[in-house]
Amino acid sequence: MKPSSSLLSPDNHALVLIDFEGQMGFATKSIALSELRTNAAIIAGTSSIFNVPTIVTTVAEQSFSGPVFPEIETFYPQATSGYIDRTTMNTWEDEAAYKAITGTGKQKLVMAGLWTGVCIVGPALSAMEEGYTVYVITDACGDVSTEAHERAVQRMVHAGVIPMTSIQYLLELQRDWARQDTYKPVTDLMKKYGGAYGIGIQYAHHMLTH
């Protein structure tokens, strides 16, 4: 009856959202931008629902990369969320970002962002070297080509990073549909962003009223 210690729970990890910005999105070719935005919304919404410590970091926001995706700002407004803007491509090498991430006190780190081969590989491998367990939400990452994304994921997995997907992240935190405090927010999030799964939930809820 005891769940695996490798599973994520709302209180055992921090989420790091890296460079979900317009300029980075324009060049992303490994995933459709519409799908990437949807998956970013799912993971940001998930962390908000479950009160997961979440760091939002950008690179050269004012001079090059532009503002974060609206889906991120929906759940983590810039005015109140303390976005950390960097010059470094590797988030782990930015002092403010490093202190924010390590300051959460969580030994498990979940990462997602753009681009997979640079802005995710860098902090993922760096955090692992300092003893952190790192998960990467691969369908909420993207790169300039499918080849670039896949080789980056492969490189991280070979190093010990744990890959997962956006809906997997959500359901791993919910874990039990009897958890009523989060049941409605979770199903509402899926109705809005969950594609076919969300339509199924909407259908089921509707049919149960008849």
Q: Catalytic residue, from 8, 52, 119, 134: name it.
A: 119
Q: CB neighbours (10 Å) of residue 126?
A: 16
Question: In the annotation, is 119 catalytic?
Answer: yes
Q: Report how far residue 133's alpha carbon sits from residue 72's, in angstroms, rounded to the nearest whole number.
A: 24
Greatest alpha-carbon span in the chain: 57
Q: Report how far residue 151's alpha carbon sits from residue 20's, in angstroms, rounded to the nearest whole number.
A: 20
Alpha helix stretches (DSSP H) within 82-145: 95-102, 121-129
Cβ-contact 166, 184 below 8 angstroms: no
Cβ-contact 133, 158 below 8 angstroms: no
Cβ-contact 114, 148 below 8 angstroms: no
Cα separations in angstroms, 124 against 6, 77, 111, 130: 17, 25, 8, 10
Show which residues are catalytic. 119
